[in-house]
Amino acid sequence: MKISVVGTGYVGLVTGVSLSEIGHQVTCVDLNEKKIEKMKRGISPIYEPGLSELMNKNILENGLKFTTSHVEAFKDAEVIYIAVGTPEEPSGAANLDYVEQAAIDIARHIARPVTIVTKSTVPVGTNHKLLQIIKQNLLHPVRVDIVSNPEFLKEGSAIYDSFHGDRIIIGAETGHAFKVMETINKPFGIPIYKTDIKSAEMIKYASNAFLATKISFINEISNICELVGANIENVAAGMGMDQRIGGQFLKAGIGYGGSCFPKDTKALIQIAGDFEYDFKLLKGVVSVNKKQQRVLVNKLKQCFSSLQGKKIAILGLAFKPNTDDMREAASIQVTNELLNLGADVIAYDPIAIDNAKGILDPLVRYAYSVEEAIAGCDAALILTEWDEIKRLDLSVFRQMEQPLVIDGRNCYSLDAMKEARIEYHSIGRPSVIEIIETASL
């Protein structure tokens, strides 16, 4: 089918590339000329494993196109996906300016029947509103169907997720729209769940809110583990064996970040609030997450009488491994707090440094290897569990005069740290200094 995708952020680009890969004729349109120029030259604007290769393959083999022209993108399209951002408003609500503008852009350029598919995460009721906006702005009286088709990809494994997702949600109200979506998506071979539009919109928010709840829950348990002397890794493994609970998203750490969980949890609280419903549980999830992001600095504070002038290495800046995305990364809060406490902060990330430079405080200095970051430091804080960091030869920490590692992602086994005789504090597990002290009694 002839498909256009509006917006080439994570979702738009991955959607465009994967629809092209399964044989559709795809044109991606974005207002950002620099981005489009890059993609035309085969350069992905995002670091995402496998994306650049698949994008170039589809440019060459399947005629995947990029443009800034609405005329070029919309004139022949049978289906148009909206994948523009829905960022957080100061109130927590989703900002719908970009999706509404995209709807107007579409309405002003279509001259044949079109199915509009919303991939962006939008509050319940938005698709009906978009359909109204489109109908009010049409220059030619053509049939328009609307579909809610929320996206569930995870950054860092976006390509894999597109081809191996657990389900494709299709919210529609006409037989024609369901048929078009089934035709488009059949080659993915992923189970399709058909529902009404409002339920599809809610499935997306409820799914993210549930996953965020799992994370805040396990983080609370990890804090209690530290108090009672249990080990969160063992607790999560034992819990996850119960298929009703499931082992995924039970990794304790420094809270969730990224472009989705923080904003979508707040947006759902707001959606409920619009109907005077107080979503107490989700408010708890959000406040636990805020508290959890402070856990590392609190642990560090307990190791020193003052952090004034202390040199602290930050290992990992991206909100999760295998992405250069810095949106709502814990590193923002942690570096700000350390600088406020007078520490000298030197940071390393294998991929995200360029993005970090535009986001972190200018006082943060950067290193281009783990070794360079920790040389002469008083402590190293691990914020992102990159493979490179997990696989480090632990002797590298010996470059610190008194090795002290505070790990927000539980990258190393307690036994290995004990053997390396490195003071090691992690999440929900006994501290290695205590183990060394107890063993030598």
Ligand X SMILES: NC(=O)c1ccc[n+]([C@@H]2O[C@H](COP(=O)([O-])OP(=O)(O)OC[C@H]3O[C@@H](n4cnc5c(N)ncnc54)[C@H](O)[C@@H]3O)[C@@H](O)[C@H]2O)c1
Q: Which residues of the chain form contacts with ligand X (CB under 6 A)?
A: 6-12, 29-32, 35, 83-86, 98, 101-102, 105, 119-121, 151, 153, 155, 259-260
For 432, the token pair is 């290695």
CB of 306 to ligand UPG, least distance (A): 30
Q: Is residue 134 involved in binding ligand UPG (CB under 6 A)?
A: no
Do the annotations mark residue 155 as ligand-binding?
yes
289 or 426: CB nearest ligand X: 289
For 244, the token pair is 């009703």
Tell me the HSE value of 227 on the side-chain side, using a 13 A CA sphere: 6
| Closest residue to ligand X in the complex (CB) | 9
Residues contacting residue 360 through CB under 8 Å, at least 6 positions apart = 317, 326, 331, 332, 335, 347
H or E, element range at 149? none
Contact criterion met (CB below 8 Å) for 168 and 190? yes
Residues contacting residue 434 through CB under 8 Å, at least 6 positions apart = none
For 328, the token pair is 């709502």
Q: Is residue 316 involved in binding ligand UPG (CB under 6 A)?
A: no
Phi/psi of residue 341, nearest 5 degrees: -85, 5
Instruction: Find the binder of ligand UPG among 208, 322, 333, 355 (CB under 6 A).
Output: 208
Q: At what angle do helices 126-137 and 197-228 cross, to 10 degrees?
A: 140
CB of 23 to ligand X, least distance (A): 23
User: Which of ligand X, ligand UPG, none has residue 105 at its interface (CB below 5 to 8 Å by kind)?
Assistant: ligand X
User: Which of ligand X, ligand UPG, none has residue 319 at its interface (CB below 5 to 8 Å by kind)?
Assistant: ligand UPG
Point out the catalytic residue in the list 260, 303, 377, 411: 260
Do the annotations mark residue 265 as ligand-binding?
no
Do the annotations mark residue 186 as ligand-binding?
no
Contact criterion met (CB below 8 Å) for 356 and 347? yes
Instruction: Find the binder of ligand UPG among 109, 251, 310, 429 (CB under 6 A).
Output: 251
CB of 213 to ligand UPG, least distance (A): 12
User: Which of ligand X, ligand UPG, none has residue 331 at its interface (CB below 5 to 8 Å by kind)?
Assistant: none
147 or 345: CB nearest ligand X: 147
**Cα-Cα-Cα-Cα dihedral of 354, 359, 364, 368, to 10°?**
-20
Q: Centre a 10 Å sphere on the Cβ of residue 196 and count the other Cβ atoms it contains.
A: 12
Identify the CA nearest to 169 among candidates 212, 208, 133, 143: 208
Told to judge if 260 belongs to the known catalytic residues of this protein, a careful annotator would answer yes
Cross-strand partners of 424? 405
Q: Is residue 171 involved in binding ligand UPG (CB under 6 A)?
A: no
Q: At what angle do helices 280-292 and 261-274 cross, to 10 degrees?
A: 150
Stretch that binds ligand UPG, among 27-35, 192-200, 253-261, 397-405 (CB under 6 A): 253-261
Catalytically active residues are 260
The residues that touch ligand UPG, with contacts defined as CB under 6 A, are 121, 151-155, 208, 211, 215, 249-251, 253, 256-258, 260-261, 264, 319-320
